[in-house]
Amino acid sequence: MEIISIDAIEILDSRGNPTLKATVVLQDGSKGTFMVPSGASTGIHEAHELRDNDKQRYHGKGVQKAVQNILSISEKLYFREFTQESFDKALIELDATENKEILGANAILGLSCAFARASAKFYNLPLHEYLYRMKHSISYSNKKRQVKPQVTPFANVINGGLHAGNDLQVQEFMIIPLKGDFTYKTRVVSEIYHTLKSLIEKQYGKESTAIGDEGGFAPALSKSKEALDLLVEATKQCGYSEEIGFALDAAASDFYNTETKKYQIEKDLHLDYKELTQYYNELLKEYPLISIEDPMAEDDFEGFMYFMANSLEPKEKNIFSNKKKVLVVGDDLLVTNPKRILEAQKEKLCNSLLLKINQIGTLTEAIQAHKLAESSGWHTIVSHRSGETPDDFIADLAYALESSIKLGAPARGERVAKYNRLLELYHNN
């Protein structure tokens, strides 16, 4: 496939900050676009998101440099035969840095995913089918697969940490529907979400039901148990107590003191990694927790190893693992980087991958990360970012990889777009 046109413009993400939209057109007129997301709670090892740092525009957050980088390399990509893998490799080589700091991972990802969309149209395939075949190295001309994968939503309904203005240190409190197809799971999430809103309004006042970046509520809470108790009550009132699991995104790097090597998990609680493990174990005893993301700071390998060896089994049956273990999900720890995944596998730091395509910068590398995780029996959770766009690409990616998906609450257009795309896929396939 030859590229005949490349374009990019500066647009806004769901927080009103600049990001970019890339467009790729192939020789037959097949056109693909992609709007690049951005994170707030970012790992220090993520691929470099290029910003202008011009304080006179968007407080320094503009992405005109990344847009210009796309336009400046376009002629080097025209009229050359590419597969997805060779195109992504060409982008990496044009940048020629370890963390994509010259072109910017946002510029590279925009092109990588826009090329994928254009290629899917070129082969007359749905995007998810193109991605599935890419993962499995299957010919793009074969018959379409008939199996419907079971994608499970991880829905962030109470916010803390960098996503909220309350005193919760844990960043996300999620509900996970464990039974039924995606259509039923979406209904369950929506019903619990609206019941939770009523509970919060009754206990904390109407002003506490304003929503955060990912659609979750951020009432004036300070302790993890207060948030989890709200989830228990909302789930009970909806009649779903027997079919819901809970998940945390601790984002522990954000409350870790590198000098004292202590975690301030609550206002007056400064814990070392062994004490923090005991804190999580108390929650595992009391609540149907089946997943904890980034329980330790991104480079606290000793803490991760200790937690992996000493965490309790979840109360709730873990449908994602046959080893009766809590999902220990690496986000900031792994940053969707195959090199860090290999290190984590060797040291037994976690057992699940949070896959964020903008952490690594190309689709090929993201799928490679997933395949590495899968090779060790890990579970993969494809994830949105807090600064999202209406682009529903990751819904097709989760469907293609037969993974779970972390997509926020069923609120805000950029979150609902992912739910609705998956609902459409389950209706049509």
The pLDDT value given to residue 117: 98
The pLDDT value given to residue 228: 98
Q: Write out the two tokens for 175.
A: 């509900």
Single-letter residue type at 291: S
Integer angstrom CA distances of residue 130 from 85, 242, 363: 13, 37, 12
CA atoms 133, 139, 141, 143: torsion sign: negative
The pLDDT value given to residue 147: 75
Residue 143: which residues within 8 A CB-CB, separation 6 or more?
none
The pLDDT value given to residue 146: 66
Going along the chain from its start, the domains and CATH numbers come out as 3-124 (3.30.390.10), 153-428 (3.20.20.120)
Q: Write out the two tokens for 109.
A: 């990802």
The pLDDT value given to residue 323: 67
Q: How far apart are CA 370 and CA 327, in angstroms?
A: 16
The pLDDT value given to residue 346: 97
Residue pair 423/183 in contact by the 8 Å Cβ criterion = yes
Burial of 165 from C-beta contacts in 10 A (0-12 / 13-18 / 19+) = exposed
In the sheet that 3-12 helps form, which strands lie side by side, from edge to edge?
A: 3-12, 18-26, 31-35
Integer angstrom CA distances of residue 256 from 119, 311, 325, 332: 44, 19, 25, 13
**412 φ/ψ sector (left φ>0, alpha ψ -120 to 50, else beta):** left
Q: How far apart are CA 349 and CA 86, in angstroms?
A: 32
CA angle 407, 411, 414 (to 5 degrees): 60
At 199, phi and psi to the nearest 5? -65, -45
The pLDDT value given to residue 322: 65
Which residues have a catalytic role annotated?
214, 356
> What is the tens place of the pLDDT at every residue in 255-279?
999 999 999 999 889 999 999 999 9
Low-confidence residues of the chain, pLDDT below 70? 41, 143, 146, 163, 322-323
Dihedral angle of Cα 360, 365, 366, 370, to the nearest 10 degrees: -130
